[in-house]
A and B are shown apart, each in its own frame.
Chain A
Amino acid sequence: MKALVSVKRAVDYNVRIQVKPDGSGVVTDGVKHSMNPFDEIAMEEAVRLKEKGVISEIIAVTIGGQKNEETLRTALAFGATRAIHVKEDGEIQPLTAARALAAVFKKESADILLCGKQAIDDDANQTGQMTAALLDIAQATFASKVDIADGKATVIREVDAGLETLEIDLPAVITADLRLNEPRYLKLPDIMKAKRVQIEATNLGDLGVEAAPAIKVTKTAPPPARSKGVMVKTVDELAAMLKQKGLV
């Protein structure tokens, strides 16, 4: 079985995001980037499925500019067997990413697409769902447990009401939630080995995908600054303060 894992390059989770003064977006120049944490979870799941012998090949796919090569190196250090770089310097919106992933999925005749449930930069939470729709295959989003056997995937999903168990036929798209697993620490020898793997390059044109942005961002603004909180010691004190402020 062949798994495709989508890996996005995003501003590192340790970085304090700053909005550009002109409101045209957030500052990304000279800012540390790394693999979207939910994609790390998807990668980890793929590697575990491979270690269990469920899948034999893991292809990591990224869409973006030259710097995305590092994201693929991270995926290779995790244990991806191949890495595909869909080169695109322009903006990549969820629908564009989904089209590209669907095209690679078809070309590779993959059985599973593992994605993060969302990326921590735009939090769109759309790419996995859109890809499944474009491919017209089953999907299970927000996975917190995945079992694969006999051409089916049993997926426990985290939903608002609690947990939901789905059984879906493969091929399918599965998106990883936070509690699916805890990604391993990448070992230096694996990081070094990943450097020597040849990355396969392609682009949107070759895949027959048009990068037509469907969403226009008009303005980016930071959330309003919160005023400093007050520590209260007792419930009575809390109640008194809420009353005083006319909140209850």
Chain B
Amino acid sequence: MTTLPGAPHPYLREEHELYRSQLRRFVQKECDPHIEAWEQAGELPRALQLKAAEAGVLGIGFPEEFGGTGDDDPFYQTIMAEELARSGSGGLIASLVSHRIGSPPIAAHGTPEQKDRFLRPVLDGSKIAALAITEPGGGSDVANLRTTARLDGDHYIVNGSKTFITSGMRADFITVAVRTGGSGMGGVSLLVVEAGTPGFTRSPLQKMGWWCSDTATLYFQDCRVPVANRIGEEHRGFKAIMENFNNERLMLSAQAWGFGQVCYEEALAYARERQTFGQPLIARQVIRHKLTDMKMKLDAIKAQLDLLCWQITQGHMPVAEICLLKNLSTGALEWIAGEAVQIFGGAGYLRGAKVERIFRETKVLSIGGGATEIMKDLASRQLGY
């Protein structure tokens, strides 16, 4: 554990740090110089997907026989989120690794044939995967989703729409939650809808942040999807969706921490540099206290994040704690990013500053993957209140 930067760590080993250094190089070399151009373009180039596969970004935690790394150590996933966050672009993470939410149900519940078709080409970077749960009628109340899939021979006929779907414009394979049965959670199934399927169309959405991530509304009109594209058993999709959320929320927490860390580092560097009234900002107690408060929150979040990852390596899934960590980390990021912009003064309001983009991209983390209020409800139910 000796190559660890700074103080020793109870869970991370040298291989974690070696993996981290590969990702850091990937972000510095392949992402940082291009983010602004991708933001303007409104999407990431496909070539980046191939580079990310090469750099070992895509395969983490997926089965080895389909091109993944085969390990199930969650630290590698949080390290990935932390390092991608160093780019200061939430859109980069959201869209580059949208398969982190789109593909796990296939890895967990798909047949070998489905994994070969829908997982392997995503992990090698040649195809893009997305997840479509949220509907115009509501995102929090997943159990009441309204997109229907009616069985007709060896096809389902899908009708309805999905919205806010990350990588929704580019995705080749979309894991879509549909209602195959009666009302409530017992009637939900997962289907993989492929790009180009007749009856499936999409349109782009403009957002506050995450510009380089293509977000879309998807429309299904008598869209015929082969029964062979159903992931897992019919009417049993809800559980798969919920399992998927634990991992997504942990990743969102790691991202929030990573962005907070970037804000802290940027604000600290700026405070050392910027002179007002004849002294650097860092000479002012009020500024130093803002910075220590940032660090205090970040340290607490990181300690909990790493503890929960470690508990998962021990076979324990801390569902309530993950919900609460998501709230703690995304709430802290809203405050930290706000204070970082404040320390930058007018310069923090200008396009081009990392803190400016991160500030615009805090809210989506407090809403996506389960909004703050919903996380509290879920945690309290899990805790038996």
A and B held together in a complex? yes
A residues with a Cβ closer than 8 A to B are 12, 14-15, 30-34, 66-67, 70, 73-74, 77, 184-189, 191-192, 195
Of chain A, the residue at the smallest CB distance from B20 is A32
5 CB < 8 A contacts A-B: A12-B21, A73-B15, A74-B18, A186-B22, A188-B60
What separation, in Å, do the CA atoms of A191 and B19 have in the docked complex? 8
Q: Distance (Å) between the CB of B67 and the closest chain A CB? A: 11
| Smallest CB-CB A-B distances: 5 pairs | A32-B5, A185-B55, A188-B69, A67-B2, A185-B22
A187 touches B14 (CB 8 A): no
- Contact A185/B18 with A67-B2, A67-B3 known, Cβ cut-off 8 Å: no
Q: Is B118 in the interface zone, CB < 8 Å from A?
A: no
Q: Is B56 in the interface zone, CB < 8 Å from A?
A: yes
A188 touches B19 (CB 8 A): yes
Q: Please, which residues of chain A bring their CB within 8 A of the CB of B56? A: 185-188
What separation, in Å, do the CA atoms of A15 and B6 have in the docked complex? 11
Q: Please, which residues of chain A bring their CB within 8 A of the CB of B71? A: 188, 192
Q: Distance (Å) between the CB of A194 and the closest chain B CB? A: 8
Pick from A30, A34, A192: contact of B21, CB under 8 Å: A34
- Contact A189/B26 with A34-B3, A73-B14 known, Cβ cut-off 8 Å: no
B2 touches A189 (CB 8 A): no
What separation, in Å, do the CA atoms of A107 and B78 have in the docked complex? 44
Q: Is B383 in the interface zone, CB < 8 Å from A?
A: no
Q: A70-B18, A184-B54, A186-B56 are in contact. List 7 more A-B contacts (CB 8 A).
A: A30-B6, A31-B5, A32-B4, A34-B3, A187-B69, A191-B15, A191-B19
What separation, in Å, do the CA atoms of A184 and B22 have in the docked complex? 9
Pick from A15, A66, A189, A191: contact of B18, CB under 8 Å: A191
The number of A-B residue pairs with CB atoms under 8 Å apart is: 59
Q: Is B76 in the interface zone, CB < 8 Å from A?
A: yes
Of chain A, the residue at the smallest CB distance from B26 is A185
Q: Is B208 in the interface zone, CB < 8 Å from A?
A: no
Q: Which residues between 1 and 42 of chain B lie within 8 Å of chain A, taking CB atoms?
A: 2-7, 14-15, 17-19, 21-22, 24-26
- Contact A188/B24 with A32-B5, A70-B2 known, Cβ cut-off 8 Å: no
Pick from A31, A66, A70, A185: contact of B54, CB under 8 Å: A185
B residues with a Cβ closer than 8 A to A are 2-7, 14-15, 17-19, 21-22, 24-26, 54-56, 59-60, 64, 69-71, 76
- Contact A186/B5 with A14-B24, A192-B71 known, Cβ cut-off 8 Å: no
Q: Please, which residues of chain A bring their CB within 8 A of the CB of B18? A: 70, 73-74, 77, 186, 191
Pick from B5, B14, B24, B55: contact of A70, CB under 8 Å: B14
Q: Distance (Å) between the CB of A178 and the closest chain B CB? A: 14
B15 touches A195 (CB 8 A): yes
Q: Please, which residues of chain A bring their CB within 8 A of the CB of B24? A: 14
What separation, in Å, do the CA atoms of A30 and B4 have in the docked complex? 8
Q: Please, which residues of chain B bring their CB within 8 A of the CB of A33? A: 2-3
Q: Please, which residues of chain A bring their CB within 8 A of the CB of B17? A: 32
What separation, in Å, do the CA atoms of A187 and B26 have in the docked complex? 12
Of chain B, the residue at the smallest CB distance from A66 is B2
What separation, in Å, do the CA atoms of A32 and B4 have in the docked complex? 6
What separation, in Å, do the CA atoms of A23 and B225 have in the docked complex? 71
Q: Distance (Å) between the CB of B242 and the closest chain A CB? A: 27
What separation, in Å, do the CA atoms of A195 and B16 have in the docked complex? 12
Q: Distance (Å) between the CB of A5 and the closest chain B CB? A: 17
Q: Distance (Å) between the CB of B71 and the closest chain A CB? A: 7
B5 touches A189 (CB 8 A): no
Q: Distance (Å) between the CB of B270 and the closest chain A CB? A: 14
Q: Please, which residues of chain B bring their CB within 8 A of the CB of A31? A: 5
Q: Please, which residues of chain B bring their CB within 8 A of the CB of A74? A: 18
Pick from A30, A67, A185: contact of B7, CB under 8 Å: A30
Q: Please, which residues of chain A bring their CB within 8 A of the CB of B76? A: 188
Q: Distance (Å) between the CB of A48 and the closest chain B CB? A: 15
Q: Please, which residues of chain A bring their CB within 8 A of the CB of B22? A: 185-186
What separation, in Å, do the CA atoms of A12 and B28 have in the docked complex? 14
Of chain A, the residue at the smallest CB distance from B1 is A70
Of chain B, the residue at the smallest CB distance from A37 is B25
Q: Distance (Å) between the CB of A29 and the closest chain B CB? A: 10
What separation, in Å, do the CA atoms of A14 and B6 have in the docked complex? 13
- Contact A185/B3 with A73-B14, A73-B18 known, Cβ cut-off 8 Å: no
Q: Distance (Å) between the CB of A32 and the closest chain B CB? A: 4
B70 touches A189 (CB 8 A): yes
Q: Which of A73, A74, A191 has the most CB of B within 10 A?
A: A191
Q: Distance (Å) between the CB of A39 and the closest chain B CB? A: 14
What separation, in Å, do the CA atoms of A78 and B5 have in the docked complex? 22
A189 touches B69 (CB 8 A): yes
Q: Distance (Å) between the CB of A65 and the closest chain B CB? A: 10
